[in-house]
Each structure stands twice: as structure tokens, then as C-alpha cells.
Amino acid sequence: MIRMKKRLVIKGPKIQDVGYRLFLFEIAESNALTGFQARNISEGIEVLIEGEESNMNNFIKATITSFPPHAQVEKVITEDYERVVMSIENFYRLFTLQQLVKMATAGVELLEKQDTLLNKQDQMLKKQDTMIEKQEMMLKKQDEMLAKQDIMIEKQDIIIKEIKGLREDLKIFIEERF
């Protein structure tokens, strides 16, 4: 059995932040590679692999023919590699740690955004309380105006009665004189 080492560079417009390294790690595990490393580089993703020739060839074929759902790949460059390749177990530990750090960072960012949203919500509730207070003041004023209107209507009714009384008196006076 021949052991080999290879370096692959995966290039394309959308290959980072789509779960590509985890996708490649799964293929490496399923092909029983002994060494595996994957990292984001400026040109795309660099993958270092080590293992038996047939397993390596299967990994390379899978890498060329299948991609994560949201990835957009232009090409996969394969070349021989001579340096040390991290054991797949060590990569697993490192990768897990990197992902936990990403999740912790994302969690902190989410909490900060949540705090910001809660502060904005508190401000909105304070404004809403102010608006309700103003609305209550307006309703009190409206009640006062309605009470004054009722008083005016009562006075108007009294005046109408007085006018009717005066008309009656005037009618009697006129009838008596003429």
C-alpha cells in the first residue's frame, strides 16, 4: 500500500462560509485518510491530505464532483505535497475548537444585538407611556368640555323657556291692547 500526500486548492466565487471545511472533513473521514487539514486562504480553501493511494484518489474524486449546497466552485487544483500533514484526529480537535470560538463570538454578538433591541424596545415603551398619559389628559379635557357643553345646553334650554315665556307674555299683552 502506497502512502501519499497531496495539496488541493479549491477556488470559486462562493466557497467560504458555506460549511465547506466540515464537508471536506466528512469526506476525509469516510475515506479513512490518516492526515487532513483544511483552511481558508485568500484564493479559496487549502486542503492537505495524507493516506493510502486508493483512499486519496477517492477523496480527490469526491472533492472534484461534489460540493456543499451553497458553494460555487470554479476549479480544484491538485498537487503533490512533501511537508507534514496534521493527523485527522488533531484536525478534528482544532476544527472543533475553531467552530466553538466562532459560535461563542456569534453568541456574544447576538446578545449585544439583543441588548440593543431591548433598549430600543424600552425607549418605545416609555414613549408609548408618554403618549398614553397625553391621551388621558386629552380625554380629561374632552370630558371637561363635554361637561361645559352640557351646562351651556342647560342654559340654552333656560333661555329658550324664557323666550317662550316672553313671547307668551307679549302675545297676551298685544291681545289685550289691540
pLDDT classification of 31: cutoffs 50, 70, 90: very high
Using one digit for the tens of pLDDT, what is the confidence trace for 85-131? 999 999 999 999 999 999 999 999 999 999 999 999 999 999 999 99
Question: Across the beta sheet with 35-41, what order do the strands follow?
Answer: 35-41, 44-52, 3-11, 75-80
> Residue 28: which residues within 8 A CB-CB, separation 6 or more?
36, 49, 59, 88
Separation between Cα atoms, residue 151 and residue 155, nearest integer Å: 6
- Position with higher pLDDT, 176 vs 98: 98
What's the mean pLDDT in 8-15? 97
Using one digit for the tens of pLDDT, what is the confidence trace for 47-76? 999 999 999 999 999 999 999 999 999 999
Taking a C-beta distance cutoff of 8 angstroms, is the pair 85, 36 a contact?
Answer: yes
- Position with higher pLDDT, 108 vs 167: 108
What would the grid cell of residue 90 be? Answer: 488533531
pTM exceeds 0.85 = no
Cα distances (angstroms) measured from residue 52 to each of 3, 30, 161: 4, 13, 115
Separation between Cα atoms, residue 63 and residue 58, nearest integer Å: 9
φ and ψ of 106, to 5 deg? -65, -40
pLDDT value at 178 more than 80: no
pLDDT of residue 168: 86
pLDDT classification of 172: cutoffs 50, 70, 90: confident
